[in-house]
Structures are given as C-alpha cells and as structure tokens.
Chains A and B, each alone.
Chain A
C-alpha cells in the first residue's frame, strides 16, 4: 500500500512537471509526447487564440501520455482548467493516449450551455475520424469554433483586452481586470457570454457598457453563505427584482484587487451587466470579507435605485449590514440590506401623490384668489411728499464718500468627493464606465 501511494505521489509530481507548466505563456495545445511538429503547434495555437478572441472561450487540447493520479479524465481536465485558464468559460479536450480514452471538460453558463452532449459528440467524432493527431486537434478547434459561432457567442472587447492584465495576476479568479486600451466609447451591446470574467475598466470611457447580466444575483465568492442561504437570498433578490423592476444583488469577495471598494462595486455592477431594463435600474451590495477592521460593505446604486435611495438610506443600510456582519451573521446582514432597500424603493401609494398634488393646487388656488381679492384694497398711506416738491428746487449742498473699511467674506466651496455631486436624491459619482452611480461604503 505504501509503495502504491509513493508511486502515485511521484507520478503526480512528474506529471505536474510534464503537463502543467507554471507559466501561462505555454501553448493551448499540450503535447508532452511530441506528436506534433513545432509548426503544427504554432498553427493550432493560432486557432486557440482565435477562439479566445472571437468567442471569449478558453479552448485547449491535451495529448496526455496518461492521466494517472486522477480518478477520471474529467478531473485531469479540471486540473488543466485551474492551471491554465483565466476565464470562466472554457472547453478542454483530453486524449489519454495510454487508455485511448478521450473526454471533454467544459466550464460555461449552465443556462446557456453550448457544449451539449450532441455538440461534444460531434467534435469527438470529427477528432476520431482525423488521420493524424494534428488534424484531430484542428478538428477539435474548428468544432469548438463552429459550435460557438452557431450559438451566437461573441467575446466582448474588454474581455480580450482584459487578458493582458489577467495574465499578470494569474491564479486570481476572474472579475476586475483593467484593459490597457479600449474603444468602449461605443456601447457594447454584444452578448455577455464570455464577459463574466471581467469587470474591465477602460481607461478612456465616455459611455456606459450595456451588457446583459450573466452572473446570478448572489455571487458568494468569499464563500460566507451556506448553499441554503445562497438559495434563499437568490430567491429574495429575484422576488425583489420582479416586484420593483429594480435588480438587487449581493456579491461577496475577499480581495479588492487593488481597487477601492466603491470602484470594485461599480465596475462589478457595470461590466457584469447588472441592472433592470435599459436603464439598468438596480443596486448591488459588495461585502469584502476579512479580519476585523478590514471588512467592508459597499453599496452601489443606479437608475431608479439611485433616485430612490438617498444618502441617509444608504447610511442606514450600511450600518445595518455592518451591525450584523461583524458578528458573522451574514444572513441577518443581507436580510437587513434587502428589507431596508425595499423600504426605499417601494413605490409611494398613488393616493399620496394625489394629496401632494392637491396640496400644491390649494396653495396655488389660494394665491390666485388672494391676488384677485387684493385688488379690492386701494387705500394706502403715503410715505412721502414727493408729489409736492417744487420742480427744479433740489440742491445738493454736501456730498462726501469716505472709505471706511474692507472685509473679506469666506464661503466654503461645496464639497465634491471623487466627482460627487448632489443633483439627485443623494450624492452621486461616476464609475469607470462613465455611468452615474449612487452609493456608499463602510468599513468595520
């Protein structure tokens, strides 16, 4: 038994050196046994790069000598995914040469699944019918591209740009890469597939991103919620969204990746397509987990939520979240968040507006009638005797203006933090996408 364990450890160790390089600069086609020429490798790499650029999918084919140390080929593929892919969406094909067995590892949005059994089976058949390993790899990449094309999948521009950044932070999970260049001045209306791995922040952005949401309303990256709690909040958020036409989301993380909490929340909201309808109405609570004093709760609001949730309400919500979260009571914290947000965005009863309109009308009506009635009064005391000054008799006999003093009045300028202004219900700021947000942050 001991011998078997030792053999397994050595095998895995050796395999890790053979198959899983530490650098992400390696080819998407892994060929440790030398089945392909260098030119073939380069040609296949171009196909993989094209897929990434066009569809935002990470595609890889691996001709493994064996998959010892893994229970299944799928597990091996999963390990490859964790080691090489910085994207949420990936398709990896592994051919275990020792067993002559193949399998696919696929990571994608389960609601918009592209690589169904039929698709992967078709790709496998094409691969199997190829005369050489190279042609088989070509068949794989072409099959992947064809499937993505047929599914109408396209990569967003910032996704591609984000790669340059995410490569430097290999190992971190998706989210907030910053592209060096973007032409996101144009609205990005492409499908969001392939964009969930980024909250890319364009350096020069004048318009908003306008992508569809692909992430769920509850994203527990910090893993602080149980599965039951996650399902519970998912349902609450969805109910809230449906009832008030205003999306509400919860995101938990453990790392801000160099951003401020507000920037992270804004970018997460914008670049992951949160928000209801064309105006992207909604709010998002970002909870940063960590040690005491490092924890942070941040709200970002947009559209109707921005209009309805003022600074005072945001402060109340954040305090309520912090009050529970600092004791680890996250369910209570997010319940407070949803409850208080509901109070703020709940539509005012129509009767209230009618009463307001009537009150305004009454004031106007009384002003009108009093103005009409004022014409009934024509008796007024005369203050001066100007009518009785003899014309031309005014003589100014003394005129003297003497400087007395000078004083300086100091008026503080209105505070404007980070471009905040107060032309809406509460203070606002502009996110990296150029969109106006409300919100606030609290650390505890």
Chain B
C-alpha cells in the first residue's frame, strides 16, 4: 500500500507539500514554509495525531490515528494488485511498481504506524538526471529505455523497511591448512601439508539492518540501493509523506527476520574468518549465531521509482532518495550483443590472420 497524504496550509488552507531542498512543508499558494514538526503540532492542536519518539517495536508500537488517515485514500492497481495511498486532492493515477492505472479503493485504514522515516533529500529533477546518467554510456540498450518521455513517470515512494538491531555473537569452526615442508627425490615432488582445527568466537553490534517490507519492491533492488543513512532518519510524521506515495508493509517483521539473520550471520562469519590468518586455505565447517537484545523498528525509506514495461516485462529502476545512488538492470538486446560481438570478432579474426600471414607463422 502506498500513501500520499495532503497537509493543509494553516495560513491559507491550501494543500502543502514537503520541499526536499528546504526540508520543510511549503504552500505553493502563499509560499508559506512550515517545519514538519510545527505543522504536525498544529494539527495535533487541531485534534491530529501525536508525535512518535523513541519507538521500540516492543514498547512503542502505535497505530495510525483517525486524523492521520482522514485525508488519505487507498488506490489499487488492477494489474499487479499493488495498493498505493495518495491524498484526496493529489490522488494517484498510476501504479509506481508496474505503471498501470490505479483505481481508488477507499479511505486508508491505518495499521502499524512507522517508527522512523528518512525524508527525501533529492527531488524529482535530481532523479531524472540520475536516470539519464545511469543510461549514459550503456551499450545494447533497448530504444524504449532511452525515451525521455518515460522519465516523467518517475515517482517518489516511501518504501517500508524493518530495521533490525542486535548484539550478535558467533561461534565458527574452521579447518585451515598450510604447507609446512617441500622436498623432492628423483621421481617425485613432495609437499607436507598440516591441517589445523580453528575455532573463533566473537560478538559485534549491528544497528538497523534493513529488510524490505514490501513484496512489490524486489529485495535485490532495495539492497542494491543501500546503504541508507539511518542517522538522518526522523521520527515518523505524516507531514513527510506529503507529495509522495507511501507503501504499507505487506511483509511483517517476523517474516523479515530470516533475511536479517542471514545477513548478520554472514557478516559475523566473514569477520571471524578474517581472524584466521597465517594459513594457505581456510574452510568453514560450522557456524552458530546467537542474537542478544534484538529489536526492530518500522521505517520508511525514500526511493524514486521508475517502471518501464518492455516486452511485457516490468523493468524497475530506483534511486536512493537520500544518497542519489541509482540502480536498475537495463534490459539488454542479446541479439545485438551477439551480432556486434560477431562483427568485432570477424574483424579481430581477419586482422589476426593477416598479422600471422605477415610474420610468416601460417
């Protein structure tokens, strides 16, 4: 589910939106600017939802308030079944994931409320520019991907993430080998190899390991956008959503835990592996991991999203709305790759043949 919430200007009542440059809410009608917190406070005074601080999933879980959800509408994509949320004045016309038209499903009924949000720091123009740069110098790209008109369809989306923090302790067993002696006689060469059983244990603290909470966003695409700087995250406030789509998680924390565990386990195993030094080869035999004091938060990450349909397949490009990192697999014209490769190869082959002839090797 994506949500686009429209805040009202306290001065003129017009719809305001979040300005990424000023990091404030701005009214396009009276040019008034407001701090997000102030605007939220204003709305609180007006009976809106309270601010969320120091959220811990265990203790600070909160639900959306009615005030927060009042102006939000849920739109559903009939093509991919994705739900997007937009405010009642801006609305949503197309699905950010597949580009298909969406229809309004009704008023948003809030579930779990995000703890954190990383506000967009880069605007749509920056995203469009990044996309153009991303395409620059790429070979064998289908013509449709170079169509500038598509770039205007790029959308800012807050993607739900679960952030896992913990102290992880690992115990890993290795078998390590090193060559300890070499000699030879008339017939054979001999190599003496000594094996060791190596054991390492250690612990380290992980902060905010993200796991994508939306099935509509490919996990590898979101992980390719990392890292996000969570230090710049702020407690969630609906004001940050103004002007953007927001997606509601459809993968819960429990379902996301295995992925977080997997990444943490690999990290600690790799770290401990690096301490087994002085050997020619090291093989991991067994590893165990214990998570101590783990907690998780629900956060929204800013992502600029562009979906281009090519040959009945959606190709999703994304830009980290905080750092500007742009990723996305560009569909490659394999026929073109082979044809050009063959032509280059023929040229190389003929040149090689000519050179070999010239120097008399053939």
B93 CB, nearest partner CB in chain A, Å: 27
* Docked pose: A383 CA to B262 CA in angstroms: 8
* Docked pose: A413 CA to B175 CA in angstroms: 29
A388 cross-chain contacts in B, Cβ below 8 A: 206-210, 227
Given contacts A372-B139, A384-B263, A385-B264, contact A406 B195 (CB under 8 A): yes
Chain A proximity mask over B200-212: 1 for CB below 8 Å, otherwise 0: 1111111111100
Given contacts A365-B346, A366-B341, A396-B202, contact A406 B193 (CB under 8 A): yes
Query: In this complex, what residue of A is CB-closest to B349?
Result: A361
Query: Could you tell me if B193 and A386 are in contact, using CB atoms closer than 8 angstroms?
Result: no
B263 cross-chain contacts in A, Cβ below 8 A: 382-385
Residues of chain A in range 128-160 having any CB-CB distance to chain B below 8 Å: none
- Which of B4-12, B19-27, B107-115, B330-338 lies at the binding interface? B330-338
- Which of B36-44, B154-162, B218-226, B235-243 lies at the binding interface? B218-226
Which of B171, B191, B341 is close to A411, meaning CB atoms less than 8 Å apart? B191
* Docked pose: A360 CA to B206 CA in angstroms: 50
Query: Could you tell me if A353 and B270 are in contact, using CB atoms closer than 8 angstroms?
Result: no
Q: Kindly state whether residue B29 has any CB partner on chain A within 8 Å.
A: no
Number of interface residues of B (CB under 8 A): 81
* Docked pose: A386 CA to B205 CA in angstroms: 11
Q: Kindly state whether residue B271 has any CB partner on chain A within 8 Å.
A: yes
* Docked pose: A184 CA to B274 CA in angstroms: 63
B305 CB, nearest partner CB in chain A, Å: 13
Which of B134, B189, B227 is close to A413, meaning CB atoms less than 8 Å apart? B189
B94 cross-chain contacts in A, Cβ below 8 A: none
Residues of chain B in range 136-167 having any CB-CB distance to chain A below 8 Å: 137-141, 167
* Docked pose: A381 CA to B337 CA in angstroms: 25
Given contacts A370-B341, A380-B220, contact A393 B191 (CB under 8 A): no
- Which of B70-78, B180-188, B294-302, B306-314 lies at the binding interface? B180-188
Query: Could you tell me if A376 and B140 are in contact, using CB atoms closer than 8 angstroms?
Result: yes
A402 cross-chain contacts in B, Cβ below 8 A: 196-199
* Docked pose: A383 CA to B210 CA in angstroms: 12
Q: Kindly state whether residue B59 has any CB partner on chain A within 8 Å.
A: no
* Docked pose: A398 CA to B197 CA in angstroms: 13
* Docked pose: A407 CA to B187 CA in angstroms: 19
Query: Could you tell me if A381 and B219 are in contact, using CB atoms closer than 8 angstroms?
Result: yes
Query: Could you tell me if B270 and A379 are in contact, using CB atoms closer than 8 angstroms?
Result: no
Q: Which label, helix, strand, loop or mixed, suits the secondary structure of the A interface?
A: mixed
Q: Kindly state whether residue B352 has any CB partner on chain A within 8 Å.
A: yes
Which of A358, A367, A394 is close to B202, meaning CB atoms less than 8 Å apart? A394
Query: Could you tell me if B346 and A361 are in contact, using CB atoms closer than 8 angstroms?
Result: yes
Q: Kindly state whether residue A364 has any CB partner on chain B within 8 Å.
A: yes
Which of B208, B267, B340, B348 is close to A364, meaning CB atoms less than 8 Å apart? B348
B176 cross-chain contacts in A, Cβ below 8 A: 401
B194 cross-chain contacts in A, Cβ below 8 A: 403-406
Query: Could you tell me if A369 and B344 are in contact, using CB atoms closer than 8 angstroms?
Result: yes
* Docked pose: A378 CA to B331 CA in angstroms: 11
Q: Kindly state whether residue B329 has any CB partner on chain A within 8 Å.
A: yes
Q: Which of A384, A390, A396, A409 has the most CB of B within 10 A?
A: A384
B350 cross-chain contacts in A, Cβ below 8 A: 354, 357-358, 361
A364 cross-chain contacts in B, Cβ below 8 A: 344-345, 348
A399 cross-chain contacts in B, Cβ below 8 A: 199-201, 275
Residues of chain A in range 398-444 having any CB-CB distance to chain B below 8 Å: 398-413
Query: Could you tell me if B346 and A362 are in contact, using CB atoms closer than 8 angstroms?
Result: yes
* Docked pose: A370 CA to B339 CA in angstroms: 11
Which of B175, B199, B224, B346 is close to A379, meaning CB atoms less than 8 Å apart? B224
Q: Kindly state whether residue A397 has any CB partner on chain B within 8 Å.
A: yes
Q: Kindly state whether residue B292 has any CB partner on chain A within 8 Å.
A: no
Q: Kindly state whether residue B362 has any CB partner on chain A within 8 Å.
A: yes
* Docked pose: A398 CA to B198 CA in angstroms: 10
Query: Could you tell me if A362 and B195 are in contact, using CB atoms closer than 8 angstroms?
Result: no
Query: Could you tell me if B223 and A382 are in contact, using CB atoms closer than 8 angstroms?
Result: yes
Q: Kindly state whether residue A377 has any CB partner on chain B within 8 Å.
A: yes
Q: Which of A373, A375, A383, A412 has the most CB of B within 10 A?
A: A373
Q: Which of A353, A376, A386, A397 has the most CB of B within 10 A?
A: A376
Query: Could you tell me if B362 and A350 are in contact, using CB atoms closer than 8 angstroms?
Result: yes
A419 CB, nearest partner CB in chain B, Å: 15
Q: Kindly state whether residue B327 has any CB partner on chain A within 8 Å.
A: yes
Q: Kindly state whether residue A256 has any CB partner on chain B within 8 Å.
A: no
Which of B175, B223, B330 is close to A404, meaning CB atoms less than 8 Å apart? B175
A413 cross-chain contacts in B, Cβ below 8 A: 184, 186-189
Query: Could you tell me if A370 and B337 are in contact, using CB atoms closer than 8 angstroms?
Result: yes
Query: Could you tell me if B189 and A397 are in contact, using CB atoms closer than 8 angstroms?
Result: no
A406 cross-chain contacts in B, Cβ below 8 A: 180, 192-195
A372 cross-chain contacts in B, Cβ below 8 A: 139-140
B271 cross-chain contacts in A, Cβ below 8 A: 389, 394
Given contacts A396-B275, A399-B275, A401-B196, contact A411 B204 (CB under 8 A): no
Given contacts A368-B344, A390-B206, contact A357 B353 (CB under 8 A): yes
Query: In this complex, what residue of B is CB-closest to A364?
Result: B348
* Docked pose: A298 CA to B337 CA in angstroms: 54
Query: Could you tell me if B190 and A373 are in contact, using CB atoms closer than 8 angstroms?
Result: no
Query: Could you tell me if B341 and A400 are in contact, using CB atoms closer than 8 angstroms?
Result: no
Q: Kindly state whether residue B266 has any CB partner on chain A within 8 Å.
A: yes
B224 cross-chain contacts in A, Cβ below 8 A: 378-382
* Docked pose: A402 CA to B200 CA in angstroms: 12
B326 cross-chain contacts in A, Cβ below 8 A: 378
* Docked pose: A187 CA to B276 CA in angstroms: 61
* Docked pose: A373 CA to B140 CA in angstroms: 7
Known: A361-B344, A398-B200. 6 other contacts (CB 8 A): A395-B203, A401-B176, A401-B276, A408-B192, A410-B188, A412-B188
The contact sample of 8 A-B pairs, CB cut-off 8 A, is A353-B353, A358-B346, A358-B350, A368-B341, A379-B220, A401-B276, A410-B188, A410-B189
Chain A contacts to B: CB under 8 angstroms: 348, 350, 353-354, 357-370, 372-373, 375-390, 393-413
